[in-house]
Structure 1
Amino acid sequence: MQKILLIGTIMMVLVACGSGSPKYGDNTSKVLDNMIENKSFEIISSSAQPLMTAAMQQLGNAGVFVNGSTAGNINLTTNANYLRMKNDSVMADLPFYGERQFGGGYNNASGIEFEGIPNNLQIKKVKDLDYEISFDIHDKNSNTENYQVYIKLFPNLSSSMVIRSTNRSNIQFRGQVRELDSDK
């Protein structure tokens, strides 16, 4: 009886312990490859992770964030947002949560907005699976604010994006990448 339990336990442990490497279908990998090759995709973020500071923690403790959100992880599923790449142009309208280091002027309580041809655009495939994209671009509403954008796209069509700003604290977004509609 003990041998059966021991063998059963070992079998369960072996089944529960997979190889750890992701298994993606060829179809999603090909879709991602095509989006990158055509430079035509859109990222919709489902969550934002602002840089955790004392001020952000105080806001979280005060209960300012919507249900299901914390100071370190904000749910964006009801917040329209995007980052699009079409040919050589990149455009984005993303919410910003965090601290602004320099004044933004009056009526400039905007999120992260940019549109145009990015500087230093680099796209590289990593380990024959993931893509890393990086570029620099100016803010749409300000001549003094610049962004460094780092994007990682995975074969399961999920995305991770980090945006560094000259005027704001860093913020990370997680979401999904999809093919860009032809009318956008």
Structure 2
Amino acid sequence: MKSIYLLIGLFIIATTSCKSSKSTASQTEIDALHSMVTNKQFRIESDWAYPQVTNAMQQVLSSGLLQPGSAAGGINLIGNSNFLRISGDSITSYLPYYGERQMQVAYGGGDSAIEFKGLVENYKAVQNDDHSYTISFEAKSNSENFNVFIRLNPKLNSDMSVNGMSRNIIRYSGVVMPIKE
């Protein structure tokens, strides 16, 4: 009989301690995100870059060239200038790129980062059941076309994937904020 009580007690402890805590957003946070996305007025600053790890990438990044706390799978961007800004139909960005390229870099390496300056094409924003947004669009740099996929949640966290025509995909995580005039 004691073993039954013990099993029931262990079951209760296991189910309550392993319960996932759902992060609920306040209505103010949901409204702020909705306003930024529908007005197309927001800026993303990334804290981490996650390049696609290939054998060559692993060898280069494991050579000790990165700052402490970074590895081939996750590169700390805190303190490094980076942003993606959408204001209406225009976009500007400077996102450091870590990864392999399938074509030649411009003379002097001037296009090593992902830099957008122009118009957003095929912008789509979909609100999900958890009040987050999934945004997709196409953008161009000087010499390359990109597909960008962004997920924004009401806690103002962002997760962004950038897929270029001549670069391996890279993912960034960070925060989203309204554009201050």
> Hey, what does 1:151 align to over in structure 2?
150
User: Does 1:106 find its partner at 2:107?
Assistant: yes
Letter in 1 for 2:136: S
SS in 2 for 1:29: helix
Q: TM-score, normalised by structure 2?
A: 0.89
User: Does 1:137 find its partner at 2:139?
Assistant: yes
Deviations 1:19-63 (A, max 9, x none): 564422222111111111221111110000001111111023311
The question of whether the paired residues in 2 share the 8 Å contact of 1:130 and 1:154 is answered with: yes
Letter in 2 for 1:147: F
The question of whether the paired residues in 2 share the 8 Å contact of 1:59 and 1:65 is answered with: no
Between 1:160-169 and 1:105-114, the stretch displaced more is: 105-114
Deviations 1:63-91 (A, max 9, x none): 12110000110000111111111111111
Between 1:168-177 and 1:105-114, the stretch displaced more is: 105-114
User: Does 1:171 find its partner at 2:170?
Assistant: yes
Q: CA deviation at 1:103?
A: 0.8
The question of whether the paired residues in 1 share the 8 Å contact of 2:90 and 2:119 is answered with: yes
Between 1:93-102 and 1:14-23, the stretch displaced more is: 14-23
Q: CA deviation at 1:6?
A: 5.4
The question of whether the paired residues in 1 share the 8 Å contact of 2:70 and 2:76 is answered with: yes
Q: For residues 109 and 181 of structure 1, what CA distance do their matches in structure 2 show?
A: 28
SS in 2 for 1:113: coil
C-alpha RMSD over aligned residues = 1.9
User: Does 1:25 find its partner at 2:10?
Assistant: no
Q: For residues 60 and 45 of structure 1, what CA distance do their matches in structure 2 show?
A: 19
Q: CA deviation at 1:134?
A: 0.9
* Number of matched pairs: 179
Letter in 2 for 1:121: Y
The share of aligned pairs that are identical, in percent, is 37
Q: CA deviation at 1:9?
A: 3.6
Unaligned runs of 5+ in 2: none
In the TM superposition, what are the counterparts of 1:5-84 in structure 2 within 5 Å? 8-18=9-19, 21-84=22-85
Q: TM-score, normalised by structure 1?
A: 0.88
